[in-house]
Amino acid sequence: MCGINGFLSKSTYKSDDFLKRMNAKIIHRGPDEDGFFTENFNGTTLGMAMRRLSIIDLTSGKQPIFNADQSKVIVFNGEIYNFKSLREELKSKGYTFYTSCDTEVVVNLYDCYGTVAFSMLDGMFAFSLLDKTTNTLYIARDFFGEKPLYYCQSEDSLIWASELKSILEILPSKPEIDTTALNLYLQLTYIPAPYSIFKNIKKLEANHYMAIDCNTMETEVFSIPQSKKQYQIADKNEAIQVAHDLVRESVASRSISDVPLGTFLSGGVDSSIVSLCLAQQSDRKIETFSIGFDKKSFDESEKSRAVAKLINSNHHEFIIAEKDLESNLSEILLNFDEPFADSSALASYVVAHKTKQYVTVALTGDGGDEVFGGYNKYYMGKLNHRYTSLMPETIHKSILKMGDVLLKTSEDNRGKRFKINRLLKAINYQGDFYYNIISLGFQGAELKSILNPSYSISQPLHYYKSLIGNHHKTLTDFRNIDLHLSLEGDMLVKVDRTSMLTSLECRAPFLNKEIWNFTNQLPEEYLINGWDKKHLLKEAFKGYFPKDFLNKSKKGFGVPVGDWLKSQLKDELLHYTNPEFLTKQGLFNATVVTQLVQNHLSGKIDNTFRVWTLYCFQKWYVNYYGG
């Protein structure tokens, strides 16, 4: 696990200086060692660099790594979980290895199979690989997008990096804000690939690779084709057994490590099953880690304690108060390098920071909801169809107006009124409802009203609707939208940045493309049976837990930022939303923003999600552009 950087340029670059500066910006991703490679191609200079967090092959895995005749060279960030079987396959073809690390397997796999090798990898990765025989550079990203990869391209240069801060370090001037990305952020509260907050800086999309001619700088982007095993499942009982076996196999493959390893244990279905599997497969007590909150409505630490007792783990529990985050708030938010308003990132950082004191690798339950159908929002297709078939649109509009009055809340408790209000606002008579339910910030007319006209666009999600489609009805449709948007743009960004900021590697057994392939072939009622979410997964593992334990509700990784905005963050928020500052900034409608903030601070209306979204943006903006 590490971070990578690089550039290809026809300009006169100070290769060593630039690479060292880029590497210095991501030392948290790889504090153990660094590595550099440079090459010249008829006036074009290539530089590749990396920072390493040693997990496997601690002594001989230093990068960059070459194939046997040194015609191919790679710098790599990630973990390949099937590298041992791939190495044996390559050995049978005559390949020899001078390390025991997965990176050497990747470069030799490419040497053997070409770009087909990229589809053979089971794992999380971002890498750059030079093929000297064709003077072609390849930059690739994993199936789910667990590992980040930014790039900035001009006529005479290409710069890429694991984090934006490395690219910004060597650009000659500050880039401008990308208008589409700004609108996406305000609507979704994050910015999914291929956009970044800056013009001309993009994210390589998940399951894609770039091929760049080092002589001409010509570039093409390709999706990585995946071969899909076809499952012939006779009935639900067989599906339950296959799900059980695939999950256990995935946990085992993601437990290979030469350093101490543990699990995040929230007490929910996913983390409980991962922790159980690891405990059963380990020959000693495993380490489990959880956090709770001193605000009881957000605290669920009792559930994690129950699981820890059941699996007999060495359990570590950390209770968070507001003061625990006060000194780290700016570091956490600004480490994303672009605005990011998923408040659970704060809790993710705390548990990662605490966990790093005991282990270097942590397994998580991330991805279980997307893969096995675990979100409440997946009910939306059924609810939207029933509601719109019974309720005329004109009456619905009247209900919305009443809901704004009757369902408004004054505190950040995210209870029934909050959920009903969100549900009503997501209802859509044109089949566009799922995009509404995942938009946690500003939508439609409200988004337009908060921005100055020159920064407002009519369809922020146009790219994704053209890619994925617009009218969605099935659970598979909803999960596919999450794969491209919420998973890549929000959850995986949160986990990667907060864990790597503490130099902790997180692995997610549910984010296994074979499990994804399997569940996509099942009847949808296997995943959500009536109103029973994650039905198949719970059926596969219910025998290991007390009766109905896996059916207990869970709130999620909530953080009471709505309260904080009224207390310790109030002065900073007021500074960021001062009418004079907003007018000078020129992005927002000062009158609308001021009213929104005042309604929240006065307790008139709880505007937690939207005010927090504005706060995070303004904090990022001031840090980068000043003000």
Q: Among all residues, which ones are annotated catalytic?
A: 2
Sheet strands (E) in 309-386? 314-320, 361-363
Nearest to 424 by CA among 390, 471, 384: 384
The answer to whether 336 touches 493, Cβ cutoff 8 Å, is yes
Q: Are strands 361-363 and 261-264 parallel, antiparallel or unpaired?
A: parallel
| CA dihedral over 91, 97, 101, 105, signed as positive or negative | negative
| Cβ neighbours, 10 Å, residue 189 | 25
194 prior amide bond cis, ω within 30: yes
Instruction: With beta carbons less than 8 A apart as the criterion, state whether 275 and 301 touch.
Output: no
Report residue 392 CA to chain centroid gap: 38
**Region for residue 57 given its phi and psi (left: phi exceeds 0; alpha: psi -120 to 50; beta: otherwise):** left
Instruction: Report how far apart, in Å, the C-alpha atoms of 463 and of each of 111, 168, 190, 469 are.
Output: 35, 26, 15, 10
Question: How many CB atoms are located within 10 Å of the residue 3 CB?
Answer: 28
Q: Other C-beta atoms within 10 Å of 468: how many? A: 17
Sheet of 505-507, strand order = 314-320, 287-293, 261-264, 361-363, 505-507
Burial zone of 75 (CB within 10 Å; 0-12 exposed, 13-18 middle, 19+ buried) = buried
- As a whole number of angstroms, the distance between CA 414 and CA 420 comes to 10
**Cα 83 → chain centroid:** 23
| Pairing verdict, β 157-161 and 150-153 | antiparallel
User: For the chain, what is the radius of gyration of the CA atoms?
Assistant: 24
Q: What is the helix (H) or strand (E) element at residue 562, kind and residue range?
A: helix 561-564
Residue 63: closest CA among 72, 55, 71, 73: 73
CB 364 within 8 A of CB 507: yes
Quote the tokens at residue 99. Answer: 């390390």
CB within 8 A of 445, min separation 6: which ones? Answer: none
